[in-house]
Structure 1
Amino acid sequence: MTGNARHVVQMGISLRTAQLSLMRTVNLTQKCRQKSQMKQVKMNLRKYGNGKRFIGKSCKVLYDISPTSIICNVTNGDQWSLDSFRELMNDTKKSYLGKGQFTLEIECHDGGNISIRQPIKLQGMTTFTVRDCYITDYYDYDFSQEVLSIESVLQNLKFTNCKIEYSPSVRVKHIQKNLKKLLAYEKCQISNTLRTFIFQKSSYYLTRRSTSKELELERIIKKELRLLRKCAHNNLTYVEMSSLHRFSAEDMIDNLLQNGIFNSLSVINLTNNGLERVPSSLFTDSMYQTIDSLSKIDLSRNKIEDISFLYKYFDFAGNLNVDLTRNKITVLSNIDTKKLKSFSEVKNEVNIRENPLICTCYQKLFYEFIAEINDKNFEQYTYLKSMKCLDQENERNLKNISAFSYEGMCKKTDSVVCVHEGIFARYKYSFIGFSLVCLAIVFACLLSKYKYRIKQLYKVKTSGQCHCPDNPKCYDAFISYSSSDERWVYDVLCTRLKSLLPDVNLCLHHKDFIPGACIADNIINSVENSRYTLLILSLNFIESEWCQLEFQKAFHQTLKHRRHLLVLLIEDIDFSLLDFDLRFFLQTYTYLKYSDKLFWQKLAGTLQTSRDEAKPCQSNNQAFNQLLPPDYDSCV
């Protein structure tokens, strides 16, 4: 090899060595940068924003499981917020977790509380679990574009032993500001990507009692929700609402099932809720039509006493297992047994193990059903043959149900029944006569007690249909209302009536009551000098003594002139809270509801008809005229 060739080879070797050295340097630099980034991320998980403490002493990240798991511990004094965590993950997730998915678990200790605003969305989060926490801001929804734009991949949502704070004022704020978004969210309630939803040993805490206005808004929301299309939850397979207060469990499952379609839901778990009855959304046509794959309903450890709720939709082809173990079922009546057999014809099963059954003579069909059970017929109920029951004569003695002899044990009972039937046949005419005498006595007592109401009803039915022409009125209507409702009266009622009937003459407290006169006299004369009394019925009206007086006077005018009193119901009211006369009136006469679409047309038409029947005139009521100053024009 020549000297030039040797020189070229040496240069090539040197160049290759330099390349390898450079690559090692680059790799070391990259590893150092990654270690630095990892260290910074771990510091960020402990500290967040202006050096403030983020989630207590530790927030562990476990890489040895897939997907990556983040476990946060919150103690008393820590402030943990889903909004802050979302901002942190937006800053660090790419360098810390990459584009992968993760699970988030929060556990509180020593009374720790956290802030979670719905909707629950984090980029890449597949599971969200909360344990032993007091949760605030849950109903302070975050409908910002930043949150709504996040594509949810949440598959599992679980709350265990939590208390969720509910503030009516915060909810009303969202109803007023974000009604459409709120309705759309609450109709679906949970993400359509969800596979399991678990809510156990948890409750809601009401910060204060809701006002009548807030309750009315809730009723409006429920009505609007019923009008929206049902949400499709195509991925949800398991729902658990267990160890709750029975009313919470009923309300939650009813709201969920009534507003959704569930193509994959297979298990509904309602165990240990103290339920005395089955929620109204279960075992209905709607349930069977919207849940195609249902295989189990767990109602164990409740307080259900019978199985009369069982119902099988004719087109349901699945095999449904209903778990009723550890309830309070003592007797399966003949009707219940018929339902059980009908429900079980297509391999459905009802598990009634560990119930305090009593062997009585009033469940003959149940014993016959047990006798029919074999390997080919109702084989899913073979366990009944080995179940024990309490003896009806001595409830301390347990016996095997299959060993119970209806013929032997109930012969004595049947004999007693026959004896009773013979006695009744012999003395049936005496029994009938005695019963008629008792009915006559009861009728006479009721007639004596309610004779005043009967007279009132008679007057109502026999009174004339129009006002007396010899008693002209100065006002079209006297408006009786509570001072708490005056804004609605002035801003809504009077304004709208003036637009529909420009020359309508209304009698109002502030305008037409005579200063210095007795309030009772003002009320009496205002009612007598008006063709109608418009009674604005609300919860505020019920609580006002003067409003009650105005009603009594208008009610007596109605007994004289059938169409005098007209009730305007501006909010839903429990009629059991009303005075007897007012309840009697509402049950006897037609009233107008403000929610009626034709409310204003009906009201204006009634007043216009009344005005056509009578001409304006001066008042002929002497008592009223005595209250007026000499220059007062009574027919304004």
Structure 2
Amino acid sequence: MTNLNLKSFHAAFIRLLVLTAFYEISTGALDVSFQSDCRKNYKGDQDCYFMVQDHWDFLKFRKWLDNLNFVRDVSLRIACAEGGSLYIPWPMRARNLKKLEIKDCLLKGYFDENNVKSKYPDTLEVRNIANSAIEISLFEWFNMIKDMQPTKSYTCGQESLVKSIERNNTYRFVNTPKLPGRELFDVLSQIGDSFRDKVRTQPFDCHYKRLIYLENSDNPSLGKHFMEDLTLHSNFPRLKALNLSFNRLSQLPLELKKWYISFPKLEYLNLSNNDLDTFSFTDPKRFGRNKGLHVNLRNNNIRFPPRDFYRYPHRSVPISVDLRENPIR
């Protein structure tokens, strides 16, 4: 190779290094920080896991996915160390995101995209959020609800879900006025009622046509209207398992007594570890399905089963009930 060719080669190589560095700084800097925590298989699927020590931004990760040339299914798993937080607005859409698991995190910015039209379609199939807290600014929450115009995309979340788990999650209120405990509770109740009123009058339904497993457990603040809110404008034509354990439920909601209306394919209902002292399930009569329903009522306060309990196994949809760890007489 001549000296002239060598000089041309060196110059081109230096230009390439400069361009590469510029690209990483301007558009691809996120590639370095996220790629090291993601594994890519031969199909182009990304499996990403992050252990958060301080703070992690879902929007940056979403932008990183947008900048990838080729990506198929994405699995995102996040666990937080003590004091770790996560900025992630509901309903958590991102390019080709199929699986999302969050554990032990403080979730910030949860309502920040309530008036933002998403450019991402529903792709999420598995959502699992456990042992986490959602941070809410009381003033921002109030203003959001006051100006809120329910939209299908935001209110329904991702209708592509197959499995949805919310376990042992709470709310952490910030910027709260200094009021006595009872008055603060009344303020929170009024804001919650306003939110319910807007959702109840929404002009659309949510269709969870693929959802098979739904869990909202270990949540004592679930509220007495939870089942009504869940089923009023939502359809669950394929749901097979519903887990409402560890929620301190003291009464069986009407929507569960007549389970077949909202959950025609339901096969397993977990109501264990609540405070129920009685139960009763309506017979659908000539319902047209072969599979029965199993109800887990272990560890409640049930002393007497319903009078027609002996008929449960002989109904059009047979019902079996687990009553262990109850003070049955």
The bucket for the TM-score relative to the shorter chain is: 0.7 to 0.9
Is residue 169 of structure 1 aligned with residue 139 of structure 2?
Answer: yes
* Cα distance in structure 1, aligned partners of 2:63 and 2:295: 45
Give the partner amino acid of 2:83.
G
Match among 207, 217, 229 for residue 242 of structure 1:
217
* Cα distance in structure 2, aligned partners of 1:214 and 1:270: 23
Q: Tell me if the contact between 1:311 and 1:343 (Cα under 8 Å) persists in the aligned partners.
A: no
Q: Tell me if the contact between 2:88 and 2:107 (Cα under 8 Å) persists in the aligned partners.
A: yes
Is residue 197 of structure 1 aligned with residue 164 of structure 2?
Answer: yes
Q: Tell me if the contact between 1:59 and 1:73 (Cα under 8 Å) persists in the aligned partners.
A: no
Q: Which has the higher strand share?
A: 2
Q: Shift of residue 258 of structure 1?
A: 2.3
Match among 297, 303, 311 for residue 324 of structure 1:
297
Match of 1:257 in 2: 231
Match of 1:129 in 2: 101
Q: Tell me if the contact between 1:140 and 1:170 (Cα under 8 Å) persists in the aligned partners.
A: no
Is residue 85 of structure 1 aligned with residue 61 of structure 2?
Answer: yes
Cα distance per residue 1:587-623 (max 9 Å; x no partner): xxxxxxxxxxxxxxxxxxxxxxxxxxxxxxxxxxxxx
Give the partner amino acid of 2:251.
R
Match of 1:206 in 2: 173
Give the partner amino acid of 1:70.
C
Give the partner amino acid of 1:125.
L
Cα distance per residue 1:88-117 (max 9 Å; x no partner): 2222x22xxx13111111110122011111
Q: Tell me if the contact between 2:100 and 2:124 (Cα under 8 Å) persists in the aligned partners.
A: yes
Is residue 44 of structure 1 aligned with residue 16 of structure 2?
Answer: no
1:275–1:157 distance in 2 versus 1, CA, 3 Å: same
* Cα distance in structure 2, aligned partners of 1:301 and 1:215: 26
Q: Shift of residue 252 of structure 1?
A: 4.4
Match of 2:285 in 1: 314
Q: Shift of residue 74 of structure 1?
A: 0.4
* Cα distance in structure 2, aligned partners of 1:206 and 1:270: 24
Q: Tell me if the contact between 1:102 and 1:125 (Cα under 8 Å) persists in the aligned partners.
A: yes
* Cα distance in structure 2, aligned partners of 1:194 and 1:79: 27
Is residue 158 of structure 1 aligned with residue 128 of structure 2?
Answer: yes
Match of 1:107 in 2: 79
1:221–1:235 distance in 2 versus 1, CA, 3 Å: same
TM-score by length of 1: 0.42
Match of 1:301 in 2: 273
Aligned residues: 299
* Cα distance in structure 1, aligned partners of 2:196 and 2:140: 18
Unaligned runs of 5+ in 2: 1-12, 178-183
* Cα distance in structure 1, aligned partners of 2:36 and 2:52: 9
Match of 2:260 in 1: 288
* Cα distance in structure 1, aligned partners of 2:325 and 2:187: 46
Q: Which has the larger radius of gyration?
A: 1
Q: Shift of residue 136 of structure 1?
A: 1.3
Match of 1:74 in 2: 52
Match of 1:269 in 2: 243
Q: Tell me if the contact between 2:239 and 2:263 (Cα under 8 Å) persists in the aligned partners.
A: yes
Q: Tell me if the contact between 1:243 and 1:272 (Cα under 8 Å) persists in the aligned partners.
A: yes
Structure 1 segment 165-564 matched on structure 2, within 5 A? 165-177=135-147, 179-180=148-149, 182-185=150-153, 187-188=155-156, 190-207=157-174, 208=176, 218-227=192-201, 228-245=203-220, 247-248=221-222, 251-284=225-258, 287-307=259-279, 309-318=280-289, 319-332=292-305, 336-339=306-309, 341-342=311-312, 344-359=314-329
Cα RMSD, aligned residues only: 3.3
Cα distance per residue 1:466-490 (max 9 Å; x no partner): xxxxxxxxxxxxxxxxxxxxxxxxx
Q: Shift of residue 348 of structure 1?
A: 2.1
Match of 2:116 in 1: 144
Q: Tell me if the contact between 1:283 and 1:312 (Cα under 8 Å) persists in the aligned partners.
A: no
- SS of 2:142 mapped into structure 1: helix
Give the partner amino acid of 1:282.
L
Q: Shift of residue 64 of structure 1?
A: 4.8
Q: Tell me if the contact between 1:234 and 1:263 (Cα under 8 Å) persists in the aligned partners.
A: yes
Is residue 61 of structure 1 aligned with residue 38 of structure 2?
Answer: yes
Is residue 116 of structure 1 aligned with residue 88 of structure 2?
Answer: yes
* Cα distance in structure 1, aligned partners of 2:260 and 2:159: 20
Q: Shift of residue 321 of structure 1?
A: 1.4
Give the partner amino acid of 1:73.
M
Give the partner amino acid of 1:267.
A
* Cα distance in structure 2, aligned partners of 1:269 and 1:153: 23
1:42–1:239 distance in 2 versus 1, CA, 3 Å: same
Q: Shift of residue 157 of structure 1?
A: 0.7
Q: Tell me if the contact between 1:122 and 1:150 (Cα under 8 Å) persists in the aligned partners.
A: yes
- SS of 2:255 mapped into structure 1: coil
Give the partner amino acid of 1:326.
N
Q: Shift of residue 185 of structure 1?
A: 4.8
Q: Tell me if the contact between 2:312 and 2:319 (Cα under 8 Å) persists in the aligned partners.
A: no
Give the partner amino acid of 1:226.
R
* Cα distance in structure 2, aligned partners of 1:211 and 1:301: 26
Match of 1:383 in 2: none
Q: Shift of residue 341 of structure 1?
A: 1.6
Q: Shift of residue 351 of structure 1?
A: 2.2
Q: Shift of residue 138 of structure 1?
A: 0.9
Q: Tell me if the contact between 1:187 and 1:230 (Cα under 8 Å) persists in the aligned partners.
A: no
Q: Tell me if the contact between 1:312 and 1:343 (Cα under 8 Å) persists in the aligned partners.
A: no
* Cα distance in structure 2, aligned partners of 1:331 and 1:218: 35
Give the partner amino acid of 2:152.
A
- SS of 1:239 mapped into structure 2: strand
Q: Tell me if the contact between 2:99 and 2:127 (Cα under 8 Å) persists in the aligned partners.
A: yes
Q: Which has the higher helix share?
A: 1
1:68–1:191 distance in 2 versus 1, CA, 3 Å: same
Match of 1:502 in 2: none
Give the partner amino acid of 1:258.
L
- SS of 1:248 mapped into structure 2: coil
* Cα distance in structure 2, aligned partners of 1:101 and 1:143: 27
Deviates more, 1:339-348 or 1:155-164: 339-348
Q: Shift of residue 194 of structure 1?
A: 0.8
* Cα distance in structure 1, aligned partners of 2:210 and 2:36: 31
* Cα distance in structure 1, aligned partners of 2:163 and 2:297: 22
Q: Tell me if the contact between 1:198 and 1:240 (Cα under 8 Å) persists in the aligned partners.
A: yes
